[in-house]
Structure 1
Amino acid sequence: MSSADPQIVPFDRTRTDEVIEVLARAFAQDPFLTTMLPPDRRHDRIRATFDSELTLAMSVPHVIDLVLADPFDVVGVAVWAPPGTAVPGPMATVRALPAAVRAGGRSVGRLAQAWSAIARTRPTQPHWYLATLGVRPDHAGRGIGSALLRHRLATIDADGADAYLEASAPPLVGYYERFGFRSLGEVASSGAPPMTRMWRAR
């Protein structure tokens, strides 16, 4: 794969486990997850976090873009919620609950409260929401994340739409600013490290 011309394809359910593994490895040092999840079996808990997230995302459908190093090897993932995406219904929440419990253990309630507090601060005007962007660590620094952003932002710009995300680590703020996002300030819930709310106007 050339970093200048990555192969970006839409998600299909046969790649679910591979996508979860890529995201778990990409977020192994994420400040929010490493603070909020119990320290034992950390990799398994982060995997379960993204298992739960994908279960919910597929229930309402999100737009999920993948970068492939070859036809069988996912190395980058971006999960977007288009404008007007519905809140997952009760059945989807029930399906996602076992993975959420595996992720948080006895702390699952605190984890859910933290996510809810962050979600309540999201803008109310229509926008594309970047829920997750991750690159497998052994492919970091090759422009894969940038390619994923440019790919979807081209569509967003063509539609004249806005975009929003939460940056979970300070170095990411400058990274997303390169793509036109601007800080709206930090948000944090009890016990969770702050995230930076970022908006990209049309």
Structure 2
Amino acid sequence: MAVTVRTATRRDVPALASVLADAFIDDPLFLWMIPEDRHRVRRLERFFATDARHHMVPLGATAIAESDGVVAGAAMWAPPGRWRAGTWTSLRLLPGYIAALGRYSGRGKLLEETTEKAHPEEPHWYLATIGTAAAARGGGFGKALMQAGLDRADAEHAPAYLESSKERNISYYERFGFEVTREIVIPDGPTVWAMWRKPR
């Protein structure tokens, strides 16, 4: 099964959002932000589609991994200095985020504020989200996506940064050279782990 990685376009947003919703269905962060089981998949799809369409895909560094034309994984990267959404982008994101999170939108805002305070100031490539559809796990999609992004960062001799929302995923990221730099505790919410990778 050949895995190909390519830059995502706006036309890929529905497939990308579906894959990420499947990948994050049991993620502690999203269980906290979308605690009700009913409609969680639909809400997750709305959340990721909003982020991809209005923020990440226009940055030109979001990638999808495919096999036989079927999207099975996605990674949303932000280039150095461009991870934070500007005022206009934030306004465009807001309706979709409110639709996705509903009465728990305040938790989304709290997450954003807490992680932004902990975000490194040094220029870096930011891996905002990476995920593989459950049925495709173990097929090399995540590895291909990660390697493609890190090869780009290394070519620029730039570090990379991510936040792991699952403690058990830390060892996976460590295989690519990331190291935990701190724990970020969301008030009344879960913990995420900040991870930094020096360029190679």
TM-score if structure 1 supplies the norm length? 0.92
Say which is worse superposed, 165-174 or 51-60, in terms of deviation: 51-60
Deviation at 1:27, TM superposition (A): 0.5
Deviating beyond 6 angstroms after TM superposition, the runs of 4 or more aligned structure 1 residues are none
Say which is worse superposed, 17-26 or 88-97, in terms of deviation: 88-97
CA contact (8 A) 1:56 1:88 kept: no
2:46 to 35, 45, 48: 48
Q: Answer yes or no: is 1:22 the counterpart of 2:25.
A: no
AA matched with 1:46: L
| Count of residue pairs brought into register by the alignment | 198
Deviation at 1:59, TM superposition (A): 7.3
CA contact (8 A) 2:56 2:76 kept: no
Structure 2 equivalent of residue 37 of structure 1: 34
Structure 1: 5+ residue runs without aligned partners?
Answer: none
CA contact (8 A) 2:10 2:57 kept: no
Deviation at 1:58, TM superposition (A): 4.1
Please give the alpha-carbon distance, in whole angstroms, between the structure 1 residues aligned to 2:94 and 2:125: 25
TM-score if structure 2 supplies the norm length? 0.93
Say which is worse superposed, 110-119 or 160-169, in terms of deviation: 110-119
Q: Secondary structure at the match of 2:118?
A: coil
2:158 to 154, 161, 165: 161
CA contact (8 A) 1:81 1:130 kept: yes
2:192 to 191, 195, 198: 195
1:57 to 46, 55, 58: 55
2:122 to 121, 125, 138: 125
Structure 2 equivalent of residue 103 of structure 1: 100
Please give the alpha-carbon distance, in whole angstroms, between the structure 2 residues aligned to 1:58 and 1:173: 23
Please give the alpha-carbon distance, in whole angstroms, between the structure 1 residues aligned to 2:39 and 2:72: 23
Change in 2 beyond 3 A, CA 1:185/1:86 = closer
Q: Secondary structure at the match of 1:120?
A: helix
Deviation at 1:201, TM superposition (A): 1.0
